[in-house]
Amino acid sequence: MNIIASSTSRPTARALTAEEKHEIDHEMTLYPDKRAVGLEALKIVQKHQGWVSDESLMGVAEYLGMSAHELDGVATFFNLIFRRPVGRNVILFCDSVSCWIMGCDRIKEHISNRLGIDYGQTTADGEYTLLPVPCLGDCDRAPVMLMDGEQHRNLTAEKIDQLFAQRALNKEASESK
C-alpha cells in the first residue's frame, strides 16, 4: 500500500536489512498469507535492532503489504515486542504469586537500588532495562528472573550482586580485546 499521506516531519519506513529480509522471507514460506508473518517479522527485527522503532514498524508493514496501523496492533498486543528502546540486557523479573511469597519485592528493591532504575526504565548507560513479568514457570525455585534468555533462580541479594559483577567483568574483558 502506498497511501500518500506522509508529511516530512513524520517518520518514514526504514529499509529492512538483507539479513532481516532473508529471515522474514523464510517465515513467509511457512504461511499461506503474508500478513500472518507479522509477529515473526517483528521478532526478527527486534532480534537485530534490539527494539521496533516506528521506522522499523513501517518497514516491516511495507514489506508485508499491510498497514502500519494494523501491524502496530500486533506489535503492541505483545508486551515483549519493544516499541521503545531497551537496554542491551532486558531483565524480566517475575513478580507473580510464588515469587512474591518468596520475597521478590526485596530482590527487586535491591536491583532497583543497584541499577538506579524502576520497572519500565533503562539505565543511563543503556545496559539494563527492568521489566516485570507474570510467572516464569519456575515457581519451585522462586524468586526467579530472566536475563538475556537465561533463567536465574532462587534469587538472593548476593546472587544479584555476583551476577552484575560477573557481567561487568565480562564486558571489560570483551572491550579490552
The CA distance from 59 to 28, in Å, is 16
Q: How far is the CB of 133 from another protein (least distance, A)?
A: 14
- Site stretch for ligand FES (CB under 6 A), options 31-39, 74-82, 84-92, 129-137: 129-137
C-alpha cell at position 51: 527494539
The CA distance from 135 to 3, in Å, is 43
Rounded (10°) angle between helices 68-77 and 54-64: 120
Strand, helix or coil for residue 42? helix
Taking CB under 6 A as the rule, does residue 94 contact ligand FES? yes
Given 36, 135, 146, 147, the residue binding ligand FES (CB under 6 A) = 135
**In terms of CB distance, is 135 or 147 closer to ligand FES?**
135
Given 42, 57, 86, 99, the residue binding ligand FES (CB under 6 A) = 99
The CA distance from 117 to 69, in Å, is 31
Taking CB under 6 A as the rule, does residue 168 contact ligand FES? no
What does 4 bind: ligand FES, another protein, none (CB cut-off 5 to 8 Å by kind)?
Answer: another protein
Rounded (10°) angle between helices 18-28 and 38-49: 150
Q: Which residues bind ligand FES (CB under 6 A)?
A: 94, 96-99, 135-139, 142, 144
